[in-house]
Amino acid sequence: MAYFIKEIFYSLQGEGLQSGRAAVFCRFAGCNLWSGREEDRTTAKCNFCDTDFIGINGQNGGKFYDAQSLVAKVTEYWPFSGGKPLVICTGGEPLLQMDSILVETFHQAGFEVAIETNGTLKPPPNIDWICVSPKANTSLILNYGNELKLVFPQINSPPELFQNLDFQYFFIQPMSGKQLYNNTQLALDYCLKHPQWRISLQTHNILNIQ
């Protein structure tokens, strides 16, 4: 199976529990909740996206004809200077393309495999770290994992909908954009009143890294 990859780069995880940890990011092209085109944003199921996931023309992106070639490319960007290699499969929606062969091939190359998903698709087995970021008005198929990261606030998607699901950690992340300051205040207030939830900030934006 071929994999369509928007970009591959080495950076620090900016969000959630693994924030600050070095990782190779592998951004899969395409999403099932938005075409990625501005003209479709208002009618999309998810309309607050801040990521370019269209096509394969980003940094080190391309079409990879099998799992070995994609894993070989990702491996090029891990510096091999200690630490457990981590690949974060993100998007777009990585579960549109990820399969067990790819996860296994990453494992054979020594990588821990993390995903960032909108939770509307089933994952292949053996993923090491599952981060689900649910979107309002969609069916949450993947209702378990390591961390649930709710972009906040979302109409029709209050934290109470998710607080009893089978996750180890629960994060509230202020929605980016023009209302970021207000959303951060709301998130801060919510976490103080509901200690089950932790705040997740987009520290890669604060650090001005990718």
Q: How many CA atoms lie within 13 A of 50 on its CB side?
A: 10
When asked if residue 165 is in the footprint of ligand SF4 (CB under 6 A), the reply is: no
SS3 41: helix
When asked if residue 25 is in the footprint of ligand SF4 (CB under 6 A), the reply is: no
Q: How far is the CB of 175 from ligand SF4 (least distance, A)?
A: 10
Number of Cβ within 10 Å of residue 107's Cβ equals 15
Subset of residues 71 to 100 that bind ligand SF4, contact rule: CB under 6 A: 91-93
- Indicate the residue among 69 and 203 with the shorter CB distance to ligand SF4: 203
Q: How far is the CB of 204 from ligand SF4 (least distance, A)?
A: 15
Q: How many residues bind ligand SF4 (CB under 6 A)?
A: 12
When asked if residue 149 is in the footprint of ligand SF4 (CB under 6 A), the reply is: no
Positions marked active-site: 25, 31, 46, 49-51, 116, 204
When asked if residue 113 is in the footprint of ligand SF4 (CB under 6 A), the reply is: no
What does residue 40 show for φ and ψ, rounded to 5 degrees?
-100, 0
- Pairing relationship of beta strands 86-90 and 112-117 according to DSSP bridges: parallel
Q: How far is the CB of 15 from ligand SF4 (least distance, A)?
A: 12
Residues in contact with 208: Cβ distance below 8 Å, sequence separation at least 6, in sequence order: none
- Indicate the residue among 85 and 119 with the shorter CB distance to ligand SF4: 119
First-to-final CA distance of the chain: 28
When asked if residue 49 is in the footprint of ligand SF4 (CB under 6 A), the reply is: yes
Number of Cβ within 10 Å of residue 201's Cβ equals 16
Residues in contact with 94: Cβ distance below 8 Å, sequence separation at least 6, in sequence order: 26, 28, 115, 116, 117
When asked if residue 123 is in the footprint of ligand SF4 (CB under 6 A), the reply is: no
- Indicate the residue among 49 and 115 with the shorter CB distance to ligand SF4: 49
Report residue 13 as tokens. 């995880």
Q: Where does this chain bind ligand SF4 (CB under 6 A)? A: 31, 33-34, 46, 49, 51, 53, 91-93, 118, 135
